[in-house]
Structure formats: structure tokens, C-alpha cells
Amino acid sequence: YGLLIRAGFWFSARSLGDWPLLMCCLTLPIFPLAALMDEKLSQRKLIDENVSILIHIIITTSVIVYPVVVILKCESAVLSGFVLMFIASITWLKLVSFAHTNYDIRVLSKSIEKGASHGSSIDEDNIKGPTIKSLVYFMLAPTLCYQPSYPRTSFIRKGWVIRQLIKCLVFTGLMGFIIEQYINPIVQNSK
């Protein structure tokens, strides 16, 4: 078929006009804030444990379904839709970890209140409820495992960060090349 790469695959006049996708991406932080509010209410015992779990299920399902609906309604370009689903998938994974860890913290706190953990070594700082600061750090940190506090180094390894960004760009370009050069012609010919 020759070289089939075209500029419209990555960026088109439509991708600049994909404002609904941009707005969807900018509204994704609403879901972690809703999860934080659910945890705060559950921590204060204002809602039942089962209700809290149901709310977390609704939030995590919505964080995946909402971008899919927006992408299908907008008929967006591949790159902008991929980026939105990539961010939504990461948010979903982080929210699942957030819910599971905080559930375990609540169970541990209840056992401490009952005196069941007498003699065990439990760090009191790690069984506190989540704060907005810990949630924001978790959502921005390159990890999918929520913890109330993270061990940190005193400096950032800039060379490592730059290498990881270059790898991300190279492999995203390679993925786009494979899709455009090999997968799209097969799909088009099969129609």
C-alpha cells in the first residue's frame, strides 16, 4: 500500500474543535472529589458502609462511562479520544485503589476502637482519614496504589523523568504508525 500515514490521523481540524473532549477531561477531577466526600461521610459515620461502597461503585463506573459517551457523541479524532480515555482509565484505577485502601483503613480503625489490635505496631498517621492534600498528591503522583503518606526523596531525578517522557512519546508514535500503516487498511478492506 505504500506509506499511509496522514496528518489527519493525529491532528485534524476536528481535533482542535474537540472542545467537548477538553471539557470532559477538565471535569474528570470531579470524580475524585466525590470519592473524597464519600470517604469523609463514611468516616464520620453519616452514611452506612454499604451505601459508601455503592457510591464508590457509581463513581468509578461513571468515570469510565462518561468519557466514552462524550467520545461517541463527538466522533472525535483518534488521538484526542485516546488521550481522554487514557486519562479516564488512570483516574478509574486510582479511584478503585483509593476506595479499597480507605475501606481497609476504616476496618482497621474500627478494630483499634474495639481494642482488638492491642500490642500490635500500627502507625497512627497511616490510619487517618483522607485529606484533600493527600488526594491531590495521589492523583498527580505516578502511582496507582493509594497510601495516606508516601516516602519521598529529597530531590527529583530529572534525567530519569526526561527519559520516561521520551519513551512515552516514541512509543505513542510507534503505536500510531502501526495503527495507521497496518491496522486501518485491514479494517477498511474488510468493510
CA distance 136 to 48: 25
Match 463527538 to its residue by C-alpha cell.
74
State if pTM tops 0.75. no
Whether residue 170 has pLDDT greater than 70 = yes
Pick from 103, 85, 91, 86: nearest CA to 135: 91
pLDDT of residue 24: 84
pLDDT of residue 14: 54
Taking the C-alpha atoms of 176, 75, 29 and 172 in order, what is their torsion angle to the nearest 10 degrees? 0
Residue 182 or 5, more confident: 182
Express each pLDDT in 56-109 by its tens digit.
999 999 999 999 988 888 877 777 788 889 999 999 999 999 999 999 888 888
Specify the length of the chain in residues: 191
Whether residue 130 has pLDDT greater than 60 = yes
Cβ-count burial 6-41 (b if 16+ within 10 Å, e if not)? eeebbebeebeebeebeebbeebeebbebbbebbbe
Element (H, E) at 59: helix 49-74
Q: What is the pLDDT confidence band of residue 126, given thresholds at 50, 70 and 90? A: low
Show contacts of 178-183: CB within 8 Å, 24+ apart: 179/9, 179/78, 180/4, 180/5, 180/6, 180/9, 181/3, 181/4, 181/5
For the chain, state the CA radius of gyration. 22
Enumerate the domain spans of the chain. 17-151, 153-190
Express each pLDDT in 2-39 by its tens digit.
777 765 555 555 555 557 777 888 899 999 999 999 99
